[in-house]
A and B are shown apart, each in its own frame.
Chain A
Amino acid sequence: MEPINIEGTPKTPSIKFDPENGILEIRGRSIPENSIEFYKPLVDWLDNYAKAPVTKTQVNIHLEYFNTSSSKCILDVFKKLEAIHKAKHDVVINWYYEEDDEDMLEAGEDYESIIRIPFKMFEIVD
């Protein structure tokens, strides 16, 4: 499988995923008006990856902002990963939030309570 490498823009995050080492990273801001179009390639890609995932998939989320439209798409991405985890291929989600950004921490906790994948919260301290 080809890796994914999508550049970030002022309204959309960068997405990097290397199927060889199983590391998925979403970084930046996710505030497009219609997020379905933006996240579709990743969701489709994950369907493919699910057929032969590596032993342990690591997901690093570094988001500064995401709008409610993105929040649903991000949930869809997590649900694909949840299926992989359920099929006994380990997945862990590392959720990063800036120092004192309780809203972002809470957002991670929201997902953690919905999705059956281990979450680790990391506070970024300058």
Chain B
Amino acid sequence: MSFNLSEYYANLSKGDILLAYKGSITSDLINDILEAVEKRLEESNAESRLRKKIYNVLVESLQNLFHHIETVHEGINEDLDPKFGVLVIERENDFYKVTTGNFVNAKRIKFLKEKIDKINSLTRDELKDMYKFILNHQKLSAKGGGGLGLVDIARKSGNKLEYQFYVYNDTYSFFNLTIRI
């Protein structure tokens, strides 16, 4: 097994951490995290615009996790909570780093890679056009997801999305996404 979840999480939790969580991603959890982070950001000396960007990115990342994580991961030998995900918010010099982690079915990797690579290749204006196009032309899924989350995150952060896929087994990989704001 090449991917070690505990090691991964331990590494992620080093540094100037605002919040670190691993476990079920539920609607209540999202509420609790947003409330806690909002308080911490208010206490920090980050300016209002930055605080809003961080909050927006957090909402979209968490809701992406919420919409896309499978409830049960068959064939994974860890003792995982249902809808298992990882979230770490860290301060690194002048940046805030939001990292999310979740298991993805290997079948989805190609689609995700292509989408993120495409987003990363666009200029600011092209990203705006992509956002407007998807907004105007794609229907919301039954769960309320819209295909806009990653585009919005890229727009708000103003930086490239960094990602890795760590192979876990034949069916699953672990998808790590890092956003710098």
| A residues less than 8 Å from B66 (CB atoms) | 33
Instruction: Say whether A36 contacts B132, CB under 8 Å.
Output: no
The segment out of A15-23, A61-69, A81-89, A116-124 that lies at the interface is: A61-69
Q: Contact: A72 with B148, CB < 8 Å?
A: yes
A110 in the interface (beta carbon within 8 A): yes
Q: Any chain A CB within 8 A of the CB of B82?
A: no
Q: Main SS of the interface on chain B?
A: helix
Per the 8 Å Cβ criterion, residues 146-174 of B in contact with A are 146, 148-149, 152, 156
Number of A-B contacts (CB under 8 A): 72
Return the contact of B146 from the options A31, A65, A68 (Cβ within 8 A).
Answer: A68
> What bracket does the count of chain B residues touching chain A fall in?
20 to 34
Task: Tell which of B49, B135, B143 touches A102, judged by Cβ atoms closer than 8 Å.
Answer: B49
CA distance A106 to B125 in the complex (A): 11
**A interface with B by C-beta (< 8 Å):** 10-11, 31-36, 65, 67-69, 71-73, 75, 98, 100-103, 106, 110, 113-114
Kindly list the 7 A-B residue pairs having the minimum CB-CB distance in the complex, ordered from nearest.
Answer: A34-B144, A68-B148, A69-B144, A68-B152, A67-B59, A72-B146, A31-B59
